[in-house]
Amino acid sequence: MSQTFTIFRREFAGYFATPVAYVFLVMTFTIFRREFAGYFATPVAYVFLVIFLVFAATLTFQLGNFFERGQADLASFFMWHPWLYLFLIPAISMRLWSEERKQGTIELFLTLPIGLGQAVLGKFLAAWAFTGVALALTFPIWLTVNWLGTPDNGVILSGYAGSLLMAGGILAIGACISATTKNQVIAFVVTAAVAFLFTVSGTAVVLNFFSGWAPEWFTEAIRSFSFLTHFNAMNRGVIDIKDVFFFSSLIALFLFANAIVVDIKKAG
């Protein structure tokens, strides 16, 4: 283990031995800052935040029976996130690249002194940060449960981390799909459909359907691809490396596909 860490430390330090890593980070941050500020340049961002907070509060306190349950936790808050994100996250991601293609500015954008990877990563991080702002603004719900009782705030923090990772996964999917079309509505619908499949694959209805005739390993494989499987584990306060790896790998895979699609469209 010590040898592995030594090699890791040497290789990691090697990236910063030349200006290349710093240039990559600076240019990525430049794109991030431009895109993140762009969300708040119009009233759309504020409308989205209000809609998200209203839906989150309504689902938690009304449909989630927050007060009737009599438990000091945020289970009734987080249980709705996978379904809430099916509509709200695609609404964020649908414009990431389709807007650039529709206005014909994608070619101009990519002629700037930035790399394709920096552009893809910067846009994604800006959208993810905006989602993080939306999540952070739900802090009154957290304050409410702490005022009413003594919840396990570690579990709540784990739930927020899982929610943010899941949102990142859907955003990465949406960014990739957004790069394939000029139509934001198509990008929205397709992203919502793909995210829906990733979500329902872990529900009892789907698993029972396959368990009746498919091998157990196949059913387990389907379950392992579900957002619910990995998010629910973190929602219970269990931060397992396999759940973090799942969302991280999903983000990396679709951002890589995003870069390939943009590069193909640019060449075409």
- Is the pTM here over 0.85, yes or no? yes
pLDDT digits (tens, 9 = 90+) for 18-54: 665 656 677 788 888 888 998 888 888 899 899 999 9
206 and 200 Cβ atoms separated by less than 8 Å: yes
196-206: burial string, b at 16+ Cβ within 10 Å, e else: eebbbbbeeeb
User: Of 233, 235, 230, 222, which Cα lies nearest the Cα of 247?
Assistant: 230
pLDDT digits (tens, 9 = 90+) for 205-234: 888 877 777 788 888 888 888 898 899 888
